[in-house]
A and B are shown apart, each in its own frame.
Chain A
Amino acid sequence: MTPLEIIALINALLQAVGPIEDAIAKYKAILDSPGLEMTEAEIAAYEALKASDHAKPYWQED
């Protein structure tokens, strides 16, 4: 998948419905990184966020 295809996907999602400010804000610091490898502390913080997401009902099949 090319970056443009990913952008098209996300734009399609955003045009669909619903606020996703939280999803963007949560990972802004990582995605906006200045090109450094993640530190152990950053990885631990990210893993906690990811695990929290995975536990949300919408990650579960209905």
Chain B
Amino acid sequence: MKKLLPILSIFLLCAWGPCATVQPGHDALLVNSERAAVAAHTTFDTLFNLERLNEAYLIAHAPAVHKAVNALRSRPGVKGIAETAEDNTWAAIRVYAEFKSPQNTSELDKAMAALKELLAQASSYMAQMPKKGL
């Protein structure tokens, strides 16, 4: 497990920009947005998986964490907050890729900001998991 930490850390660091390189001729905003969106999905997928694996424990010992994570999930036939944010981000990415206008740039920035805010909310709850003894 420990070997995964540096690997995943590198992925995420690069995905969100600071060490990401963009090849000449490729749009930095587009490349970094695509990476960030994929990193966000990976984060949500991991978050939901781990929460579900430990659901009984979390309900008993950290109900706020369980409730917060559950609130991000989807319901049958209804897309949840996380899935909707992902859809909105990818829609903005595709529109921007087609036509790089100032308005589409602004819309992509907004979608990415919303996605990051969602991840920040998730992290505030998930950071409590180890403290709860998991």
Contacts and interface: CB of A to CB of B under 8 A. Distances in A.
Contacts of B55: 62
Interface string A1-29: 11101111111111111111101101110
B15 A20 contact: no
A45 to B, nearest CB: 11
Interface in B43-88: 43, 45-55, 70-71, 73-76, 80, 82-83, 86
Given A16-B50, A18-B49, A28 B11 contact: yes
Contact of B8 (A24, A34, A50): A24
Interface of A: 1-3, 5-21, 23-24, 26-28, 30-38, 46-47, 50, 53-54, 56-62
